[in-house]
Amino acid sequence: MLNKVILIGRLTQDPELRYTPGGVAVARFTLAVNRARLNKQGERETDFIDVVVWQKQAETCANYIRKGRLVAVEGRLQVRSYDDSQGIRRKAAEVVAETVRFLDRPKEGSGHGGAGSGGDIPEFGSEISFNEDDIPF
């Protein structure tokens, strides 16, 4: 069996970084991914896909990518169930990222990964990956 997803898109908002009670970093963001075909009106449609990133990769994403940045995500599709505030059972589909590749450079003066920000900034086109054993579930 195979469960593999590869996406290229732009972030719709800055990643949201949180920590589990055990101290494991988890970041969430949404990618806007254009469909290959045009609709009947000749317009390109866009899908908005939720992405979850764990551990060191989550912290790196939260520190160095922002809304509008182009990234490639490779991972697996996960469907989970939850009860909403009215007690109705819902399902959510999201991609659990195994690798995130930054595909463009940050704009000058963005404050995150831009010129003069210092630190170990991932290079353009760099890949951030982790071992599947690192996922805490």
Tens of pLDDT along 21-64?
A: 999 999 999 999 998 888 888 888 999 999 999 999 999 999 99
Find the mean pLDDT for residues 74-90: 95
Which range of residues forms the domain containing residue 19?
5-134
Tens digits of per-residue pLDDT, 59-81? 999 999 999 999 999 999 999 99
Query: What CATH number did the domain enclosing 93 receive?
Result: 2.40.50.140
Q: What is the largest CA-CA distance in the chain?
A: 50
Distance CA 53, CA 30 (A): 11
Q: 7-16, 76-85, 98-107, 123-132: which has the minimum mean pLDDT?
A: 123-132
pLDDT confidence bin for 129, thresholds 50/70/90: low
**Does the pLDDT of residue 134 top 70, yes or no?**
no
Q: Are the CB atoms for 20 and 82 separated by under 8 Å? A: no
Residue 111 three-state SS: coil
Find the mean pLDDT for residues 85-96: 95
CA nearest neighbour of 74 among 51, 100, 55: 100
Tens digits of per-residue pLDDT, 9-18? 999 999 999 9
Burial tier of 70 (Cβ tally within 10 Å: 0-12, 13-18, 19+): middle
Residue 56 three-state SS: helix
**Does the pLDDT of residue 114 top 90, yes or no?**
no
Mean pLDDT for the chain overall: 84
Chain center to CA of 94:
10
Considering its fold, how many domains does the chain have in total? 1
